[in-house]
Each structure stands twice: as C-alpha cells, then as structure tokens.
Chains A and B, each alone.
Chain A
Amino acid sequence: MSDFLFELGIEEVPVHEIKNILEQLRSKFESKLREIPVGFKSLEIAATNKRFMIYFPNINGKADDIEEQVKGPSKKIAYDENNQPTIALQKFVEANNIKMSDLFEIKTPKGLYIAYEKKAEGKKTSEILKKLIPEILKELSFSKTMMWNKSRLPFVRPIKNILALFDNKLVEFEFAGIPASTLISGHTLLSDKPIKVNSFKDYCELLSKNFVIISEDERKKKIIDEIVEVEEEFHVHVEPDGSMLQDYIYNNEYPVLFSGEFDMKYLDLPSEIISTFMINEKKLLPVFDRDNNLVNIFVGVSNIPDENKNVVSGNERVIQATFEDAKFFWDNDRKEDFFALRENLHKVMFHESLGNFYEKTERLFALVDFLVKETGNESLAEDVKTAAILCKNDLVTRMVREFPSLQGIMGGLYLKEAGEREDVWKSVYYHYEPKGFSDTRLEYLGSGLLSIADKIDNISGFIFKGIKISSSKDPYGIRRDVNAIIKIVKDFKLDFDLVPLIKTAAGNFVKSGSKGDKTPDNPTLKIKKLFLSRIENIFKDSMRFRYDIVNAVLNNTESLYIYRAYLRAYEVTAMAQTESTQHLVSLHKRLKNIIKDAEPYEIHEERLIEKEEKILYEIFKESSPKIENLIRQKKYLSACSTILEMKPVIDDFFEKVLVMDKVRETRENRIALLQRLNSLLSQVADFSLIVE
C-alpha cells in the first residue's frame, strides 16, 4: 500500500467558499479514483482559509489490472466451410492486436462464439494522479472567481503552491502556471520561509511547528475552551453566533481568543445596536452577565498569541471608534421627527414597477385592517394600523442605510424613543420576523399580523411581476415569506381563510394598473397553489405528518384554512392507527366510487323507497347538524366518531339497497344521499387517500 498527500496552498479564501470547495475536492477525488479504479481505504480532508489538504493513507500503487473476456464473431461467421478463418475473424484479430492462438470458443445461448481473454496492466497511480489533479482543480466551481496571472485561469484566489506527494515522491504536473512542488508555507505572520515536506508525518509536524493547526476540530475546540475560560473568569456568558464561529475557525490557522473592555458609557446604546456593530463591523462577540444584560467586555479571535497585548489594546481602541460611529447614527436619527420620515418613503422604491415604500405602507394599512377583522382581533386594530403606517420609516434613517439588517428593529427603537405605545413599537420591531418556518416564535400577535401583511404583499407583488421560483432560485425569498406566514398562523392559531386575503393583496397590484407581460393570468390561484405546496412540504418534512394524511387533509377546496388543515392532520394522525379509521377509509372509498362522476343532486324525501334508505336518511337528518357543529368547533375526532355511529345503518343500506336503480329518479335520489354523506366526511379529510 502507498500513500498520497495533496495540499493546495492559496491566498486567503473567503470563509463562505471553503466548505463548498472541500466538498467538491472530496467527491471528485473519490469518484474519479473509484472510476479508474484505484483502490483506497479512506481519505482525510482538512482546510483553513490558506490551504486545502487531502490525504489518502492507503492507496494502491497502481490501478487494477483489466481482465475480461471479449466476445468476437460467432463460430459460423468466423470460419468457412473448410474450417479456415474468414475475413471477419481476421479483422477481429487485427483490431484487437492479438494472435490466432489467443482465441478460444465459448458457449452462449445463441450458439458457439469466438472470444479471447483481454489483459491490460493498470497504470501507476502516480501517473494517473499527474493527469487527474489538474483536471479536478480545473473543474472546481466557486461563487466568484478572479484572474491574476498569465494562465488567465479563473479561480477563487491566487494559488501559492501545490504539494503532491505519492509515496513521498513528488508527482510532477503544472496547474495555472504553478508547478507542483514539495514546498508549502507555514503561518502567514509567524513563519517566513517556504517549508520542504518529505512525507505526511513531516507535513503534520512541520505545520504544527510553523503555527498551523490543520485540524478544524482542534481549532474549534481551542476556541470554545478559551471562551469557557473567559466565561468562568468574568462570570459571564458568550453566545458565539454560528457564522462567527465558522469565521474564527477558518480565518485563523492558529486561533487565540482575546478579551478586552470598552467604556461603560457605550452601554447606554440599545443592545441591538451594540451587538450589530460588534459582530458585523468588528467580528467581535458581545458578552452578557447572568441576567442576560450586555457587559462592557468583548471577545474576539486573533491569529497569533497576544503576548504583548497589542491585539487587545488595538481592538479596544477600534471598538471605541466603532461605538462612536453607532452613537453618531443613533443621535442624528433621533434628532429627526421619526413620524415625518414617512414622506421620504415616496423616494424609496419597493421594487421597480411595484411602486415606492409609501405606497407599500398604504397597502399594509388596508391589509392589516382586513386581517384584524378576518381573524377576530378588532381590539388590536388601532395599534397594528398605526404600526403599518410607520413600519418602513426606518428605511430612510442613517442607521438602517448603513446596516440594512437592522431594519424593523430600528423602527421599533426609534418609535419607543419617540414615546409610541408598546404595542405599536413592538409590532414594528418584529415585523420582519420570523425568517422562516424553523425560526423562533413571535411573542406579539400585533407583529404577527403586520408580518403576515408585509409578507403577503411581498409575495403578491413578486408573483404579480411574474417572478419565477424554483428549488434553486428564489431571489426575493418568496418561499421563506410563505413559510413564515404558515408559521405565524400556526403559532397564533389564526383561524381564517387565506384566499380572500390573497385576493385582496393581489388585487392591490391589479388596481395599481402595473400589470406586466409576465403577470400570470390568475395570480390569486398561483399564490394559493404556492401556499398549498409549501404547506404540504412543511407538514411532511418539518412536522413529520404521514404523506397520505397530508394529502387527505389538503384535499382541494375553494378556501384555504391553514390552521384547520393543521388540526385535521394532527387529529387524523392521532386516530390513524385505530379501527375506526379503517372504517372511515373503506366508507369513503366506497362513497367516492359510487358518486365519482355524478352531478350534484337534490334529495327528495318522498322518493325514498326501501326501509334501509329511509332509516339512513332519518339518522343522517338527525346527526348531520350535530356533526357540522362539531366540525365548526374543530372537534374533528368527535365528528368522526359521530359519523361512525351511523355505520350499522350505512352498512345495512349498502347491503340491501341497490344504488344504481333502473329508475332514474330513484337512482339520483340515492346518489344524492351518499353525496351529502361524502361532503360531511370530506370536511375532515379525504379518507380515501389514506393508506391502510
């Protein structure tokens, strides 16, 4: 067994590209070596922002030999009547570069054939790699590329060195004008000369001697351990936000945690601002005390040990300037009359051809007005409507122009400062939340309603414009908005029909007369379908409902009650394992089978003939108001059991009565009775779709 070590040394690669590159390298090396095939047991892979390493500890020295039987012409064709080789056979021999003596006969179902045993020795792995590595590197894709040298090769960043050692010997090739070599570089700041590598063991030792921790896990552990030390020392806690941690792990080949202090006076700034400036501007983490209040300490990660405390004192100076900037924005924005900023929204486009943000707030006002009524929350009307009018004002503040991620939050804070009621400013503060279905639950119904309005307006606008979304393309986050609405509806148990809301929201754009070439014929239907597909997806994937139950409760109707669909899925799931469900399933199947294509008919009591149908009708007349009432109260389980109480009578009906009577009136009357039963059942679920 041999081993193979590869390192691509490169100038600082952006963190968001690294995982993607690593994954491509792994899968390409794996699949191509398997294809050849060159046997290997395992591979190790690692990266920092300055190097990508792959190591195969056990790999064959050469590719597998090829041994296979190659079938030639049939014996009949291969030899003439004198048993002499024909031209066909001679051509086969020539074409395969073999001798007559290599040939033998094989038996096949189609008779005797001529064949030979093909043998080819596998190539040396080092030879294979020589061609394979440049191929793989060339195939890598990146989110953004650049050119830097004569090779004009688009790559993520300039390549510094390529190390390729097979059995400790250099694999010679060139890529992007850079020849493979046995040299690598160490830490940018702490190691100044190229390092010669002779083996994998060498590689690991030399890297660690030159201040590079190649293992991601080790770097992560070092950072987390050092965070814990700070937490214990200062009796605080630090919440390393996921993307910051990734940044620390990959941007530092030798990560060292540091912590510093800043002037207490900056703690007067709202904590949202402090955190945003620390994280986004300076890549420093905020620190909290036991009661979750910010303290005047920060932590960050340096790429070198900070023996002279240069890093800490530098960052302490920098953070002060950053907070001064934050204070400048905060103070200046508050000098303006926040309420008056709405006039400036005339100048801010929501989206080309979808009008400006002033117009958007007008639509939001109407939408929340509609929503509070539909959801029975009229008591919130005044506050949410005020919030709708003011919620976009922060777009023209300095703070949000500088940090768009603070939109909504700043609006809320400025309104709070301006003395606005809590329900209003909180509605504004959170109206961009939640960011999807798995996001945290909103606390205030007011912000939930405003959020629904804001999102349904986005969705309608973009669908109206004819923006197409697919699994890979959703530039305006339409799907995320749909998911968020489903989340809010479920969390606040909002029981309302979404279709009229969609109609109103889409109608706003129709009214504005901004219909374009790509506007779909029926935007409302298109949006409704989008919701149905997202609901289906969430019910199945996030809530883990059985797919057949999801299909059964999302049976197509004119209306779309998301919360009811959820409750029905929940209750049908609860009873799915019971015998009663089986009864409902077979009943529903039978009903649908009989009435499938029939027109809707009326029941005429006087036309009921048989005893069993009369009894069924009587019982149905008595039970159906009860059942409908239960369904209205969303007691779906009880509704089902009440339906099932009729089972003996229904069974008798099916047993004794022939629905398809020769007399048309009798037949239609019986079908009408079954249609009524069917529609009752369908209000809970289409049980015929449930798989037993």
Chain B
Amino acid sequence: MSVQSIILKLQEYWADSGCYIASGYDSEVGAGTMTPDTFFRVLGKKPWKVAYWQPSRRPDDGRYAENPNRVQKHNQFQVILKPIPANGQQLYLRSLQYLGVDIRSHDIKFDEDNWASPSLGAWGVGWQIMCDGLEITQFTYFQQAGGIDLNPNSLEITYGIERLAAFLDVKSSIYDLEWGNKVSYADLKTEEERQFSIYNFEMANIDFLRNLYVQYRDEAIRLVEAGLYLPAFDYVLKCSHTFNILDARKAISVAERNSFMANMRNLSAQIAKKYLEDTEKGETNE
C-alpha cells in the first residue's frame, strides 16, 4: 500500500468515526501534539475530535538517508479523541484492520511508554504499539498540557506513517516505499534527508541559531503579555525547533538544556492559561 493511500484511508476511517479532518500545521513541529489543534483543544471542557496528517521534524534523528527507518523529517497521523471513548484500543485495532492488517497474524503489542513533552509541560500515560517488533503508533492518555491537569482527559493516537507503510508494504527500508502513483519515497526524500542531516549535524550556524532562539523567545513573551496567545504559541514552536537543531549540533550542555526547557515550559504554561481564561469566558457567555 502506498504512503498516500494510507493517509487517505486513515482520513476516511477517522472521519467516519466522527473526527474533523484538519490540515497539518504550517510551522516546524517535533510532533503532531505540538499543533494548536491538539495543544489548545485538549484544554478545557469542550469535546473535540480531530485527525490530521502532520509532517514532523526531529533534527537529531537524521541519518543522511542511510538508515532504513530513521529520518529527520517524518510524517505522523495524529488523532485526538476528547473525552476518551471506552473502546479506544478497539477503535485503534479496527483502524489497522481498515488498512488491511490481519490482526490475528501479527504480534501487536501495547508496550509501556509514557509520553512527555517537557517543553510543552505536557505528559500522558500509555504505550508504544509494536507490530512484529516495529513501533508503529504512540497511544497516549493525555493527563496534562501546559502544566494544567486535563479534565476531561483526551486520547491521543499518533501513527508513524513511514513505519506503518514499511510494515504494510513489507519493506525493510522506508526508501523502498512508493509514495503514490509511481512516485517513490526515495525520489522525494533522499536528497532532503542528506542535505538536512549535513545541516543539522555539521553546518547549522550555532551563534546565529542562539540569537534566533533569544529573539523568538522574547517575541513569545511579548505576545503572551499582550494576550495574543496564538501567535505567541507559534514563537514557542520556533524556539523548540531552534533548540532541537542546536541540540543535534551538540551545542547545548546539560545545564543549559534544563534552562531552555524551563524557559519553554513556562511560556507554554502561560499560553495555556491565557487560552483557558479566554475560552472559559466565551463558554459562560454562550
């Protein structure tokens, strides 16, 4: 099955399950969790069901296009179900069946893996879902975002699209995948992975990025103070991505890492608080 048909099928399945199908966010993010459709919407009381395809960047995971399934930019399919349905695991297994997986002949395991994003003040409890030894999905019961206890809690399902495709297509390398209609993954991605790996590990200008980080951070602070939590959040995302490149470049010491993290976490917490104040005002007016 091609990558694009997996995305299409997942969109279809989750739309049928009551989700609104969003577009991925147009800013560099490390994971589907880091977009407004998840970060903000898991806060507060309002029910929310969304599914979207989100390209995600992890500079440190780059392998110069030489590793069969690790890349610095991969594709996630993100689902948020709020409140948590009682049959979440079943819904997930059915989505695999919808993709054509015979679940009776594959070793599908829910393996403890508690997800946390320190920079977003977010964490949850759950599993990585392994299929014949390959991690294809992260399944998380969201407990906190922006340092705020969630009530109701949300279920977050994050498929790793490349890995899912490699599994479905029985390929040992994602570069052997077909994206769709004869366009190959290798053709689309090899050069991108190679160049970005060189950039992330060797060429990124450390001083320039450090300056950028400070400017992004200050802008986020200014905006959150002005009550513009949405643009403020964009700048936190930029901070996060800049930090990730610096980290891949080994430019950050352990002590510095803690202060960067605390910095982003504080901003996320303020942003979450502003959002809640704002929406709860709206809810009572309605």
Contacts and interface: CB of A to CB of B under 8 A. Distances in A.
Nearest to B131: A314
B112 A12 contact: yes
B189 interface: no
Given A12-B112, A14-B112, A189 B69 contact: no
Contacts of B256: 347
A251 interface: yes
A321 B67 CA distance: 7
A127 B16 CA distance: 45
A152 B105 contact: no
Interface string A320-361: 110011001000000000000000000111001000000000
Contact of B114 (A144, A190, A300, A321): A144
Given A189-B108, A311-B106, A149 B253 contact: no
Q: Which of B67, B133, B171 has the most CB of A within 10 A?
A: B133
A319 interface: yes
Contact of B63 (A308, A328, A396): A328
Contacts of A152: 151
Contacts of A145: 125
A598 interface: no
Given A307-B105, A310-B105, A311-B107, A148 B133 contact: no
B109 interface: yes
B153 A147 contact: yes
A11 interface: yes
A307 B102 CA distance: 13
Interface string A121-164: 00000000000000000000000111111101000011000000
Interface in A299-325: 300, 302-304, 306-308, 310-311, 313-315, 317-321, 324-325
B133 A314 contact: yes
A12 B153 contact: no
A236 interface: no
Given A189-B103, A319-B133, A321-B69, A251 B153 contact: no
A304 B105 contact: yes
Contact of B255 (A157, A284, A321, A347): A347
B255 A318 contact: no
A318 B107 contact: no
A314 B153 contact: no
Contact of B107 (A11, A302, A321, A396): A302
Interface string A1-30: 000000000011011000000000000000
A144 B125 CA distance: 9
Interface string B152-186: 11000000000000110011110000000000000
Contacts of B63: 324-325, 328
Interface residues of B, number: 45
B133 A320 contact: no
A11 B152 contact: no
Contacts of A189: 93, 103-104, 106, 108
Nearest to B127: A12
A146 B254 CA distance: 30
Contact of B134 (A11, A150, A314, A396): A314
A251 B133 contact: no
B68 A324 contact: yes
B141 A317 contact: no
B33 interface: no
Contact of B143 (A146, A251, A283, A304): A146
Interface in B83-111: 83-84, 86, 89, 93, 103-111
Interface string A263-293: 0000000000000000000111000000000
Interface in B44-60: none
Q: Which of B109, B127, B153, B255 has the most CB of A within 10 A?
A: B109
B140 to A, nearest CB: 10
Interface in B230-284: 250, 253-256
B164 to A, nearest CB: 12
A318 B133 contact: yes
Given A149-B84, A311-B106, A311-B107, A284 B133 contact: yes
Interface of A: 11-12, 14-15, 144-150, 152, 157-158, 188-190, 251, 282-284, 300, 302-304, 306-308, 310-311, 313-315, 317-321, 324-325, 328, 347-349, 352, 396
24 contacts: A15-B112, A146-B143, A147-B141, A147-B151, A148-B84, A150-B83, A158-B84, A189-B108, A282-B133, A300-B133, A303-B109, A310-B106, A310-B132, A313-B170, A314-B131, A314-B167, A317-B172, A321-B68, A321-B69, A321-B70, A321-B172, A325-B67, A325-B70, A328-B67
Interface of B: 63, 66-70, 83-84, 86, 89, 93, 103-112, 114, 124-125, 127, 131-134, 141, 143, 151-153, 166-167, 170-173, 250, 253-256
Given A283-B111, A284-B133, 18 more contacts: A11-B89, A146-B141, A147-B143, A150-B152, A157-B125, A189-B108, A190-B104, A303-B107, A310-B105, A311-B107, A315-B132, A317-B166, A324-B68, A328-B66, A347-B253, A349-B253, A352-B255, A396-B250
10 residue pairs, one from A and one from B, having the closest CB atoms: A314-B132, A347-B253, A315-B133, A146-B125, A14-B112, A12-B110, A302-B107, A317-B172, A318-B133, A321-B68
